[in-house]
Amino acid sequence: MSVFRPFSLLPPALLRQRWWPNVYDLIAFALLIACAVALAHAAMETRAPLAALHADPISLDPARLPDYALRTTLRMFAAMLASLLFTFTIATWAAKSPRAGRLIVPALDILQSVPVLGFLSFTVTAFLGLFPGQQLGAECAAVFAIFTSQAWNMAFSFYQSLRTLPRDLDEVARGFGLSAWQRFWRLEAPFAMPGLVWNAMMSMSGGWFFIVASEAITVGDTTVTLPGVGSYLALAIAQQNFAAVGWAVAAMALTIVLCDQLLFRPIVAWADKFRSEQTASQQRPRSWVYELIRRTRAGKRLLRPLAWLWQRAMCLRFRRRAPVAAVGEAAPASPWPDRLWLAALLLAATAGAWFAVDYGRQHLDAADLRAAFGGGLATLLRVVVLIAIASAIWVPIGVWIGLRPRWAQRLQPVAQLLAAFPANVLFPVAVIAILATGADPDIWLSPLMVLGTQWYILFNVIAGASAVPTDLREAASVYRLRSWTWWRRAILPAVFPYYVTGALTASGGSWNASIVAEWVSWGDQHVQAYGLGSYIAHATAAGDFPRIVLGVAVMSLFVTAFNRALWRPLYAYAERRLRLD
């Protein structure tokens, strides 16, 4: 029988061992305080009046860059938090409910095709009106714009993981009689976590790619320039200041490296324990911050109440009337509700199409339709060619990196930095080179479209290759699979679902990137490629809302049709034939 002993009666040595902080606690506490102070400082500045932006305009003084980088980082993480909440709710709903999936998945296809400028054109005024006279409205508009460059990739990754859940794990969950709540947190979320972490890093880099459009907002007569690295870079490009462009790139690189070391690398090391299989010979990701947290003494004891609450929450079993169905498994029911739901969706789509046609007849003519659809065909050709080239290059490289965890750790921050590299930085080189050589901008501006989106393919293939079970590798070695047979029988089936997710998101991102890649400028010099992206960019700069609506609608139509014709059948093939058994 144990007897309660007051802390004052414990031996001093035992008391020190249990409660006194060690050196790791002090370092962790210092890092935590520094991050809290920095975030509090950036958050306080967002409450300033909107007029303060005009009183204190953006300066190209490099000494202002630390504060600008802090403001930009706060917006990025606010958008990342919103993207995670969106992913856990919407993607899970789409994966578990066939009826919801019929609406959500096409909606995600459309939303990922809507360019950032398309969202800003209609949300800036709304957010500014929601918080009149305050910077918070402009901050919300910028965060929402960054959110639109992050959320769709993460949602597709989580959806794909839930749809390709291994059958043996599903049978174990059924055998233990897990409730829907327990099944999600003990099986589905852990299984999807490695892929979600890699895609979260990619989404953060995608936010950096569009940071200029998110912070230097110009829609017609409305111009809002928020303090940040993106607005600093936009001003440097407008003033043709090469030195300032270099300072902005250096600030971005340093910020990305710090985020990688302090956040993403520890999360990758933590998420490695959720791999579906572990072996003693497998080298696991390492992080000095993760090891620092694991070696703290007082910090872990202070977090024990939260761990206890989480464990109690995992024991909750909400009342349910029927056994939990597997992901994607439709419960036996009458076909009439599904038919009524499909009819309602078709009715809503028909009504939307009718209103769009009526609106176009009032404000547009046949020349606008020809310009939009012709530009859409040109952009479609660029996207198809660029995705094919990127796939041929990055799939073999991603497999090579993913099968070698040591190299994956080394190249992770490099890939993040390259993925975050904004196309705006290359505008000076592109404009000067095209004007000096007389090159065709329709061809040589195209690589800017895939500059930031090709990494979706690389990151997803790395995640897929990293998740390849060791017994599959050993079986391939035992049967001496070599060359093309090894690729066709072992590796490609294993990484194919991940590749489809990456290629689909890269395709949508390339359409999105066309708004900044088909119409570039360096000071007062402009170079334009024929395409739908330049059509939307022109309409946004002029505040021409009817043509903005037309451009966004045409882009959504092209992307949705392309996804339905290619990527969705490949998704279904991955679920049906390549699911790990």
- Residue 144 pLDDT more than 70? yes
Residue 323 CB contacts under 8 Å (≥ 6 apart), including other chains: 174
- Per residue in 87-130, pLDDT (tens digit) is 999 999 988 888 788 788 878 877 776 766 666 666 777 787 78
φ and ψ of 26, to 5 deg:
-65, -45
Query: Tens of pLDDT along 185-194?
Result: 888 888 888 7
Q: Which residue has the tokens 């690389």?
A: 458
Position with higher pLDDT, 349 vs 211: 211
Closest CA to 495 of 472, 467, 471, 474: 467
- pLDDT tens by residue, 466-475: 777 666 666 6
| Strand pairing class (519-522; 222-225) | unpaired
* pLDDT at position 6: 47
Q: Please state which of the ranges 113-122, 139-148, 382-391, 487-496 shows the lowest mean pLDDT.
A: 113-122
Is residue 86 pLDDT above 90, yes or no? yes
Pair 237, 245: CB distance under 8 Å: yes
Both tokens assigned to 86: 């969106």
Query: In 10 A of CB 553, how many CB atoms?
Result: 19
User: What pLDDT, on the 0 to 100 scale, is given for residue 16?
Assistant: 55
pLDDT for the residue 280: 43
Mean of pLDDT over the chain: 77
- The residue with greater pLDDT, 279 or 492, is 492
Q: What share of the chain is helix, strand, coil (3-state, %, to 5)?
A: 75, 5, 20
Beta strands in 338-475 (DSSP E): none
Give the CA-trace dihedral at 87, 206, 539, 135, to 10 degrees.
Answer: 80
Average pLDDT over residues 258-284: 72
> If you average pLDDT over residues 67-74, what whole number do you get?
89
pLDDT for residue 243 is more than 80: yes
Contact status, residue 251 vs residue 69, Cβ threshold 8 Å:
yes
Q: Which residues pair with 528 in a beta bridge?
A: 519
Q: Is the pLDDT of residue 581 over 50?
A: no
3-state secondary structure of 335: helix
What are the CA-CA distances from residue 83 to residues 80, 195, 419, 531 (Å)?
5, 15, 18, 30
Tokens of residue 4, six digits? 């309660």
Instruction: Count the Cβ atoms, other than its own, within 10 Å of residue 476.
Output: 17
Residues 160-200: tens digit of each pLDDT? 888 877 777 778 778 777 788 888 888 888 888 877 887 78
One-letter amino acid for residue 101 of the chain: G
Task: Taking the CA atoms of 543, 546, 552 and 555 in sequence, report the sign of the dihedral they define.
Answer: negative
The answer to whether the CB of 31 falls within 8 A of the CB of 24 is no
Strand-strand pairing, 216-219 and 222-225: antiparallel
pTM beyond cutoff 0.85 = no
Which range (91-100, 255-264, 348-357, 492-501) has the least confidence? 348-357
